[in-house]
C-alpha cells in the first residue's frame, strides 16, 4: 500500500478548523524510524481546544489531530533496535521527552499540537517515541494512556508520591479523573470524586471511590470533601477544573498536601495563595503529561495490577467527527476512543 486514509484539521485563520478525511501517502520508515499501523486513538479535552483554535502554541494550517494512539509495528528502518515488526506499541505524547526534566524544546514535539498526530491509519515515528504494550491491554485501552494515563500517573506518583491511606480528590469523571481513581485505589489510597451527576457518582463508587460529592447540589463542596476525610483534608488533588474550581480544591487540602495543576475545564488560570501554601506546607505542581520514562513506569505498574481503563464509547474511523462532538457534549464517563 502506498496511500492511506487520515483525518486532518484544515484551518483558515484563527477560528475553528474543519475536520476532513483525506487520502495521504504512507511514508516508509527512514533510519531510526518505524511504521505503525494505528488500531485505536483516543480523544482528550486538549483535542477539542486544538480544533477550536484555543490551545496555546502554534496553529498549523493543516494538522493530523490526536496525541494518543496505539497499534502494531509493520516495518522498521535502518538501525532500529528497540522494536521489530509485530510489536504492539503506543506513541508517547512528547516525541522528544524521553526521561529526566522537561526542556523547552520538548514542548514543540507534542503529537496533535504543533506536529501531526495519530488520527491516521499509518504513522511513521522515531522508535524512541514509542513504548511496548502489555498483552493485557487492548489497543483501545492502550490508546487511552499516553496523555490522560501518564498525566494521572505523574500527578499521583512521580510528583505526588501517593502513600497508602492518602485521601485523593478527583474532579469530575473524565479521562484523567477516572484513570486517577483507578490508580489511586490500586495504590491503596482513598479516592473522593466530585461530579454534577448522581449517576456518574454512582459509577465512580462502583469503581472504588470511597466518597462522592455532587457539587451542583452542594455548592460548598470543599467543606463536604473535608468532612469525607474526617476533617483531615485530602493529601492529593488532581485539579482539572481550572479557574473556577482551584480555590475550593486548595481549601480541601490537608497539611502537607499536594495539588496537581492539570487542566482548565472551566478556563485556565486561577490564583495560588502563596501564604496559605507556605503556612500549610502544601505543594503545587504544574503537570503537562510526562516523559517516556513516566509512561513506561505506568505500564510496568499496569502489568502487575488489574486495572482496565474506562472507555465510555468507541467510534468507528468514519465517525470520527461524531467522536469530537460527543467529547464536546460533556456526557462522557471515562474516555472516548476511535477504532481504526
Q: Label residue 279 by pLDDT band (50, 70, 90).
A: confident
Is there a single domain that holds both residue 198 and residue 273?
yes
Is there a single domain that holds both residue 246 and residue 196?
yes
How many structural domains is the chain composed of?
2
Is there a single domain that holds both residue 107 and residue 132?
yes
Domain membership of residue 151 (yes or no) is no
pLDDT tens-digit map of 48-98 = 999 998 888 888 899 999 999 999 999 999 999 999 999 999 999 999 999
Residue 255 belongs to domain with CATH number: 3.40.50.720
**Range in 110-114, 155-159, 269-273 with the lowest mean pLDDT:** 269-273
Q: Label residue 275 by pLDDT band (50, 70, 90).
A: confident
Domain membership of residue 154 (yes or no) is no
pLDDT at residue 263, rounded to an integer: 78
Is there a single domain that holds both residue 223 and residue 94?
no
pLDDT at residue 270, rounded to an integer: 65
Question: Cell 521527552, residue?
Answer: 97
Do the Cβ atoms of 318 and 7 come closer than 8 Å? no
pLDDT tens-digit map of 184-223 = 999 999 999 999 999 999 999 999 999 999 999 999 999 9
Is there a single domain that holds both residue 22 and residue 62?
yes
Nearest to 92 by CA among 157, 39, 26, 142: 142
Share of the chain above pLDDT 90, in %: 86
Is there a single domain that holds both residue 295 and residue 279?
no
pLDDT at residue 191, rounded to an integer: 98
State the residue range of the domain holding 180: 160-286
**Range in 136-145, 221-230, 261-270 with the lowest mean pLDDT:** 261-270
Is there a single domain that holds both residue 275 and residue 331?
no
- List all residues 6 or more positions away from 236 whose beta carbon is below 8 Å from its beta carbon: 155, 156, 160, 162, 166, 167, 168, 169, 184, 189, 257, 258, 259, 260
Determine the Cα–Cα distance for residues 74 and 34; give it in Å rounded to an integer. 8
pLDDT tens-digit map of 104-141 = 999 899 999 989 999 999 999 999 999 999 999 999 99
pLDDT tens-digit map of 15-27 = 789 999 999 999 9
Nearest to 171 by CA among 270, 317, 53: 270
Is there a single domain that holds both residue 246 and residue 302?
no
pLDDT at residue 58, rounded to an integer: 80
Determine the Cα–Cα distance for residues 121 and 27; give it in Å rounded to an integer. 12
Is there a single domain that holds both residue 281 and residue 295?
no
Q: What is the pTM of this model?
A: 0.95
Domain membership of residue 142 (yes or no) is yes
Is there a single domain that holds both residue 186 and residue 246?
yes
Is there a single domain that holds both residue 137 and residue 181?
no
Is there a single domain that holds both residue 7 and residue 132?
yes
Residue 299 belongs to domain with CATH number: 3.90.180.10
Amino acid at each position: 500500500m502506498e496511500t492511506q486514509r487520515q483525518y486532518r484539521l484544515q484551518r483558515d485563520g484563527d477560528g475553528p478548523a474543519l475536520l476532513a478525511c483525506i487520502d495521504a501517502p504512507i511514508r516508509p520508515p527512514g533510519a531510526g524510524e518505524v511504521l505503525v499501523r494505528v488500531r485505536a486513538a483516543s480523544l482528550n479535552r486538549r483535542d477539542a481546544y486544538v480544533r477550536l483554535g484555543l490551545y496555546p502554541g502554534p496553529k498549523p494550517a493543516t494538522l493530523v489531530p490526536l496525541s494518543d494512539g496505539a497499534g502494531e509495528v509493520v516495518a522498521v528502518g535502518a538501525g532500529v533496535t528497540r522494536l521489530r515488526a509485530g510489536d504492539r506499541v503506543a506513541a508517547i505524547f512528547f516525541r522528544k521527552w524521553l526521561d529526566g526534566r522537561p526542556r523547552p524544546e520538548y514542548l514543540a514535539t507534542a503529537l496533535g499540537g504543533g506536529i501531526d498526530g495519530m488520527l491516521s491509519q499509518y504513522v511513521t515515528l522515531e522508535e524512541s517515541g514509542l513504548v511496548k504494550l502489555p498483552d493485557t491491554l487492548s489497543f483501545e485501552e492502550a490508546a487511552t494512556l499516553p496523555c490522560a494515563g501518564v498525566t494521572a500517573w505523574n500527578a499521583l506518583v512521580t510528583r505526588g508520591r501517593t502513600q497508602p491511606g492518602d485521601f485523593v480528590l478527583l474532579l469530575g469523571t473524565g479521562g484523567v479523573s477516572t484513570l486517577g481513581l483507578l490508580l489511586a485505589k490500586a495504590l491503596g489510597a482513598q479516592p473522593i470524586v466530585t461530579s454534577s451527576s448522581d449517576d456518574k457518582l454512582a459509577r465512580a463508587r462502583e469503581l472504588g471511590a470511597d466518597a462522592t460529592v455532587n457539587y451542583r447540589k452542594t455548592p460548598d463542596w470543599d467543606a463536604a470533601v473535608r468532612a469525607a476525610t474526617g476533617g483531615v483534608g485530602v493529601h492529593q488533588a488532581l485539579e482539572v477544573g481550572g479557574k473556577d474550581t482551584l480555590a475550593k480544591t486548595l481549601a480541601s487540602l490537608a497539611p502537607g498536601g499536594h495539588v496537581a495543576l492539570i487542566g482548565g475545564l472551566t478556563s485556565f488560570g486561577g490564583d495560588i495563595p502563596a501564604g496559605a501554601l507556605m503556612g500549610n506546607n502544601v505543594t503545587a505542581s504544574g503537570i503537562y503529561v510526562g516523559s517516556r520514562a513516566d509512561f513506561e513506569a505506568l505500564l510496568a505498574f499496569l502489568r502487575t495490577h488489574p486495572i482496565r481503563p474506562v472507555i465510555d464509547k468507541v467510534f468507528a474511523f468514519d465517525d470520527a467527527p461524531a467522536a469530537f462532538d460527543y467529547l464536546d457534549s460533556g456526557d462522557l464517563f471515562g474516555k472516548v476512543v476511535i477504532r481504526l
